[in-house]
Amino acid sequence: MKKLSLHDTNEFSEKSFKRFLLHDSAYFRVLNFNIGAGQTFPVHSHPADGQLTIQVISGEGEFLAADDVSMRAVAGDILVSDISEPHGVRGITDMRILVTIAPPF
Amino acid sequence: MKKLSLHDTNEFSEKSFKRFLLHDSAYFRVLNFNIGAGQTFPVHSHPADGQLTIQVISGEGEFLAADDVSMRAVAGDILVSDISEPHGVRGITDMRILVTIAPPF
């Protein structure tokens, strides 16, 4: 049992989004990405079984999917995706997301 | 791929904490619990492999563990626990938590 805090990783970079690994186990991996206004976590996918959630912690942006699909994404929104489905995130404002991947690949 | 919103389940009850199942798959289960001020999600555990996260979305309270251990829990705090470890949550203010369990048992 351990307690983590998103307050410890509230850091952005002008150059690119920031990535923080918060937890990794045989069961799931938890990451915090901080995406600056105008930055994009590009659409990507992995040929692995499993699913992930992308939860918006703060800020505003878009969830991105295949075929240039985008969905408005604000604090409290959660995207559930297969790991093998194309997914990404674009920041409109500075935007923090929490990503949980199960199982890790 | 689907988009969920925590805004859809922002509901409390005077009687007991509220439970909303947001997602369930072979990989993980995602639940939102809304715990009113003074309400407790009692300490419990399950004899199953896997881990869970308890993330505070809003409000303030305590993460509970075995032997009367408690830890301050505010928005942005995340408890990572084995499913088989005793865990619970007490609301000091109205408190929303997101629970992710992998794999579901």
Residue A80 maps to a domain? yes
- Chain B residues near residue A85 by CB distance under 8 angstroms: 1
Prediction ipTM score = 0.96
Residue A5 maps to a domain? no
Distance CA B97, CA B80 (A): 13
pLDDT band at B30 (very low <50, low <70, confident <90, very high): very high
Any chain B CB within 8 A of the CB of A50?
Answer: yes
The residue of B27, B46, B79 whose CB has the most chain A CBs within 10 angstroms, and thus the best one to mutate to test that interface, is: B27
| Domain residue limits at A81 | 16-102
pTM score, whole prediction = 0.97
pLDDT tens profile B49-97: 999 999 999 999 999 999 999 999 999 999 999 999 999 999 999 999 9
Any chain A CB within 8 A of the CB of B50?
Answer: yes
Token readout for A7 is 């307050």
Residue A59 maps to a domain? yes
Count other Cβ atoms within 10 Å, centred on residue A28. 26
pLDDT band at A97 (very low <50, low <70, confident <90, very high): very high
- Which pLDDT belongs to residue B43? 98
- Chain A residues near residue B22 by CB distance under 8 angstroms: 78
Question: What average pLDDT does chain B have?
Answer: 98
Residue B78 maps to a domain? yes
User: What percentage of chain B carries pLDDT values higher than 70?
Assistant: 100
Interface of A with B in 14-43 (CB under 8 A): 22-23, 25, 27-28, 30
Average pLDDT of span B10-28: 98
Whether residue B84 contacts residue B60, with contact meaning beta carbons closer than 8 Å, is answered with no
- Which pLDDT belongs to residue B93? 98
Number of domains in chain B: 1
- Which pLDDT belongs to residue B62? 98
User: Among B22, B76, B87, whose Cβ lies nearest the Cβ of A5?
Assistant: B76
By CA distance, what is B76's nearest residue in A? A6
Residue A24 maps to a domain? yes
- Which pLDDT belongs to residue A47? 96
- Which pLDDT belongs to residue A52? 98
Residue B72 maps to a domain? yes
Distance from CA of A30 to the nearest CA of B (A): 9
Residue B96 maps to a domain? yes
CATH of residue A61's domain is 2.60.120.10
Cross-strand bridge partners of residue B32: B20, B98
Residue A2 maps to a domain? no
pLDDT tens profile A22-77: 999 999 999 999 999 999 999 999 999 999 999 999 999 999 999 999 999 999 99
Do B25 and A51 lie within an 8 Å CB cutoff? Answer: yes
Average pLDDT of span B11-33: 98
